[in-house]
C-alpha cells in the first residue's frame, strides 16, 4: 500500500526541506487499522522538529507532523474496532502528515461524533497544555488573575476561553495588540496589552497584586517584565522561547516575593503519566469542545502536495489562526 507523506531527509528550514513523497507502508495486519488523514495541524513544535531545534527529534528520513484527526477506512484481518468510518486522533508517531497510516487499532483514540473537525484536530497539544498549566502549578479560583505573553497564539486562545469559563481573569500580552484587542476581548480576555506598552507596576495595581500564575511562551525581556507584575508566592511557567533570548530572573523577586519559575512540556507529561490521567484530560477537553467553550480560528488549509507552501505560511507572523493540511 502506498501513501503520500510529508518527508524531510535533513533538518533545516521547513518550507525547503519537507517534500510530499510517495512511500510504501505495507498492508494492515491483524489488530491494525488504516487511517486516512482528514485534518493535520502545523504547530511551532513541528517547525522545531523539522529544523532540528526541538527537545526530541526523529531519525532521518522522517515523516513530519504530530497532531490531527483521520478516518478509519480499513481494518486488518479479525479486527473489529474501531469501526470503519470512526474519526480518530492521528497517531503522532512515526509522523502524522501522511495520507494513510497503518496503526495499532487498540491504541486509537476515537473522537466523539458530531464535533467540528477543525477544532478536534487541534485538541491534542495546546488544549492539554493549557489545562495542565492551569491545574498543575497553582490553585486558581473565580476572581484570581492569570497573565500570559504570546496571547494571540492558539494556546493563548484556549487559556483565555478556559479561564473565562472558570471565572479567572486574564492579562494578555502580545505584539501589535491594537490589531487583536477586540478579537481577544470577544473570547473573554480582561486586559489586553502590547509588549511595548507593558507596565509591570500598572498591571500589578490593576490586578490588586493577585497575579498568581503566569505563562511564558516568549522569553527574554517579555518574561522579565511579567515577573515584576506577579503577586507574592506566584509561579511563572515557561513552555516556549520564541525569541530565543535567555530568561534573566530578577533576583530580588526570588528573595523578597518568593517567586517560582517552572517549566512544562506536554510531550514529557504524556510519556510520564498513565493512560487514565491522560484520558481524564481529553475527556475534559472534548466536553469543553462539545459545550462550545473551546474554539480557535483557522488561517488556511492546504493540500498535502502544497506542504511547502503550508509550512511557509505557518512561519509567517501575519497569519491569523492555525495552518492545516488535508486530503
Do residues 86 and 71 lie in contact, with contact meaning Cβ atoms separated by under 8 Å? yes
Q: Report the SS3 class of residue 191.
A: strand
CA distance 81 to 79: 6
Phi-psi region of 19 (alpha: psi -120 to 50; beta: other; left: phi over 0): beta
Distance of CA 186 to the CA centre of its chain: 21
Contacts of 235 (CB under 8 A, 6+ apart): 137, 138, 212, 213, 214, 259, 260, 261, 262
Give the H/E segment covering residue 21: strand 18-24
Active site positions, annotated: 54
C-alpha cell at 228: 515584576
CA distance 306 to 137: 41
Sign of CA dihedral 309, 310, 314, 320: positive
In terms of DSSP H, where are the helices of the chain?
A: 14-17, 44-51, 117-121, 126-136, 154-166, 177-186, 200-206, 220-229, 251-256, 266-272, 275-290, 307-314
Residue 191 bridge partners (DSSP): 171
Do residues 82 and 110 lie in contact, with contact meaning Cβ atoms separated by under 8 Å? yes
DSSP state letter for 81: -
Amino acid at each position: 500500500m502506498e501513501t503520500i507523506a510529508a518527508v524531510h531527509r535533513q533538518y533545516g528550514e521547513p518550507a525547503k526541506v519537507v517534500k510530499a513523497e510517495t512511500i510504501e507502508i505495507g498492508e494492515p495486519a491483524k489488530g491494525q487499522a488504516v487511517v486516512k488523514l482528514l485534518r493535520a495541524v502545523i504547530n511551532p513544535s513541528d517547525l522545531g522538529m523539522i529544523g532540528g531545534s526541538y527537545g526530541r527529534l526523529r531519525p532521518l528520513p522522517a515523516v513530519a507532523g504530530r497532531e490531527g484527526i483521520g478516518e478509519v477506512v480499513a481494518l486488518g484481518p479479525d479486527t473489529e474496532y474501531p469501526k470503519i468510518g470512526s474519526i480518530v486522533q492521528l497517531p503522532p508517531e512515526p509522523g502524522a502528515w501522511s495520507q494513510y497510516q497503518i496503526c495499532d487499532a487498540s491504541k486509537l483514540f476515537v473522537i466523539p461524533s458530531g464535533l467540528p473537525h477543525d477544532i478536534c484536530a487541534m485538541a491534542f497539544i495546546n488544549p492539554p497544555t493549557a489545562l495542565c498549566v492551569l491545574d498543575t502549578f497553582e490553585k486558581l479560583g473565580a476572581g484570581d488573575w492569570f497573565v500570559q505573553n504570546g496571547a494571540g497564539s492558539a494556546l493563548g486562545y484556549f487559556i483565555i476561553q478556559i479561564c473565562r469559563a472558570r471565572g479567572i481573569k486574564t492579562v494578555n500580552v502580545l505584539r501589535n495588540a491594537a490589531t487583536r484587542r477586540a478579537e481577544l476581548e470577544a473570547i473573554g480576555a480582561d486586559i489586553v496589552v502590547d509588549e511595548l506598552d507593558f507596565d509591570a507596576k500598572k498591571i500589578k495595581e490593576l490586578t490588586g497584586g493577585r497575579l498568581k500564575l503566569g505563562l511564558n511562551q516568549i522569553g527574554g525581556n517579555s518574561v522579565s517584565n511579567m515577573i515584576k507584575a506577579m503577586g507574592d508566592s506566584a509561579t511563572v511557567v515557561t513552555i516556549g522561547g520564541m525569541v530565543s533570548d535567555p530568561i534573566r530572573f530578577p533576583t530580588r523577586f526570588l528573595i523578597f516575593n518568593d517567586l517560582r519559575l517552572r517549566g512544562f512540556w506536554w510531550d514529557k507529561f504524556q510519556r510520564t503519566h498513565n493512560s487514565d490521567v491522560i484520558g481524564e484530560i481529553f475527556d475534559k477537553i472534548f466536553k469543553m469542545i462539545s459545550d462550545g467553550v473551546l474554539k480557535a480560528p483557522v488561517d488556511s488549509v492546504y493540500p498535502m502536495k502544497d506542504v511547502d507552501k503550508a509550512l511557509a505560511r505557518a512561519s509567517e507572523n501575519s497569519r491569523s489562526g492555525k495552518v492545516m493540511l488535508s486530503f
